[in-house]
Chain A
């Protein structure tokens, strides 16, 4: 059991083995002989917990080389259940704002689903109330009539494809599988999905769903 000595003034007794007064800012290797288990919930990648009897708090840690994917996966598994990404209260936005964020997200998808029945012609309705339209023509192989869709209502290939398929009244169950292709700024027809979503939206001119013969 660790004996902690309480120093009320800075020049008083400090915990054994360590005197904050003598602390030289330059030397970060204070010998903290903390004889306890530091059990960390969420930040164990910062504090290196060694064996029970001799835990040494490390000096300035090696700077993390930022690998976003690695960090995301690593962190997520350690967070408490809470907000969307599993972290309670982070980012620090209040309840009202969080609710609004959810609502505008749902409206994005609802707007897409209700595309055919939008009353006010898409003027800022639903979605983000955005005027950043990206209307493109969509054709489906085997269907005579083309449609038009506002790409600014979507954020991923998955939701786009799902919406398109249901828009044309087809479903995965009837056995047909379709591939999404698009014509880019240069006029070439490409298979959708290879480039990041934002790049895709920036260059797409029109869409076509073609039957996937390989199935």
Chain B
């Protein structure tokens, strides 16, 4: 006789498992564990909304409270995915409105969400608490009004970097006076003015508010009114950080910031007037996260601010910081874990700032916990990359963007293969890598050989032949997402590694050498892959089959082909 725990006990044990990986492992143990687990899974993460469909999800997990969905491929952020490609959330909302009445959280990334969807959310889920829309589009402030008006227990409304059609700021006034549950509000992406009075009142009646990110339209002199009413804030995003320089504005602001004893994270800072930066000095020593990536201020003010943030763990900044500022950062912020340096003028022909590989080397040297880097610059050497790799074997995310494609090592005039090779060889825990500069197939050989934990790889203007792609697909065991543009990779490498594609979430290739014929073949032989040819030149059969396709998006799916494709996307017809 088999001895087993009663279901309730197992369910209780499983309730301590929060990671999807663990729950998926539990489901595979035996049929009864599968059954018990599926009834008590409350949180779902779907990395590609087309990998599965609402019906399949609801059938397996009937009691979900929280869902996270991702839609368009990452390169959509850079305009590479044409308008209308897909990632519509409405079918999901519709299905969940019928099957998940107790749904509390919806988190979306790169999806299209209409006002209709927002209204349906507002109407269908009585206990709705969290709405996070990261880089989404398709909705207007009318949809937001519906959410504000109807979600009585709303805790979090985060619009991320979404594109919202901003009809008016009045939507904010739709939060009823009885709504006091807000913990987090991020409206930084909105363009038009919200009613400041409504915002102030909302903030004043939200005792649990910990995150507030306002939009650019809120002027600096109004900030103290907000900060005074919500001095328990942990994360704050300013609006435009500019005003005529007046001592009363300055002292009010400084006093208001001083009152925020819990403040750990600052962002916003559009249109910075440097004279107002010292108003933040009182909170600098507590800051762990600082996003100055929209702040067009320079040294010495910039450096002076940052060097007071001794507990800084995350810094996002423009390249106005320059090498000098990064050296100061390395000297003062020993807890730094993540650095992102964005370009202030990415399209200028000549560099407008003195930001080189030296800055990054300095930070890699001075900050022992540095593990995540995004760095835009205009020059690099293998030597610098060697040094960075040696200094920081704990690197997990390394994204380097040398602005001009195919830029060689400026000392040797050769490719940067060896430098990136050193990165993947030394940084054994590397999970994400973005390449740039002059690169041959050799760098892919290094990556295939060493980058065993690599999950996401971004490649642009690199490589010589199919061999490059082959090295990556055959060598990178943990690869989940691969995105490639403007590389001479062709059919052979893709078709020889077709099976690999089923172990990955997705592959994006644009401006490469994959023929339509190869796409058809892949689609035919691999029924569990969706092969999408994205080509705005017209139907692929109006060109020779050997002609390379413009763009290609391949992803594994249990849902079969989708039926919401626009005219310029070709998917295989028969299942």
Contact = CB atoms under 8 A, between A and B. Distances in A.
Interface of A: 1-2, 4-10, 14-15, 18, 20, 23, 25, 28, 30, 32, 34, 36-43, 46-47, 57-61, 63-66, 68, 71-72, 75, 82-85, 87-98, 100-101, 104-105, 119-120, 123-125, 128-132, 155, 197
A124 B242 contact: yes
Nearest to A89: B78
A200 to B, nearest CB: 13
B562 interface: no
B408 A66 contact: yes
A40 B75 CA distance: 20
Interface in B420-466: 438, 440-442, 445, 460-461, 464-466
Contacts of A82: 79
B347 A94 contact: no
Contacts of A59: 464
A170 B521 CA distance: 69
Given A32-B492, A90-B405, A37 B546 contact: yes
A72 B271 contact: no
Given A93-B78, A130-B296, A43 B413 contact: no
Contacts of A38: 488, 490, 513, 548
B187 interface: no
Interface in B535-558: 544-548
B497 to A, nearest CB: 8
B20 interface: no
6 contacts: A6-B495, A28-B467, A61-B464, A89-B80, A100-B294, A129-B272
A5 B495 CA distance: 8
Given A25-B445, A64-B408, A90-B460, A42 B440 contact: no
Nearest to B487: A43
Contact of B488 (A23, A30, A47, A64): A47
Given A8-B499, A60-B442, A63-B414, A88 B408 contact: no
Contacts of A95: 77, 79, 163
Contact of B346 (A41, A58, A101, A197): A101
B486 A43 contact: yes
- Closest CB pairs A-B (n = 10): A89-B78, A84-B347, A36-B546, A124-B273, A91-B346, A89-B80, A129-B296, A128-B296, A94-B77, A131-B274
Contact of A131 (B297, B345, B474, B511): B297
Nearest to B399: A92
Given A46-B464, A100-B294, A71 B492 contact: no
Contact of B496 (A10, A42, A57): A10
A75 B320 CA distance: 28
Given A2-B546, A72-B349, A97-B342, 4 more contacts: A4-B521, A7-B495, A36-B546, A129-B273
Contacts of A25: 445
B511 A43 contact: yes
Nearest to A45: B406
B7 to A, nearest CB: 41
Contacts of B485: 89
B505 to A, nearest CB: 19
A69 to B, nearest CB: 10
A93 B342 contact: yes
A124 to B, nearest CB: 4
Contacts of A30: 467
Contact of A89 (B75, B467, B518): B75
Contacts of A7: 495-496, 498
Contacts of A66: 407-408, 410, 413, 438
B415 interface: yes
B344 interface: yes
B278 to A, nearest CB: 12
A129 B77 contact: no
B461 A43 contact: yes
A75 B496 contact: no
Given A25-B445, A32-B492, A85-B347, A125 B548 contact: no
A57 B442 contact: no
Interface in B362-405: 376, 401, 403-405
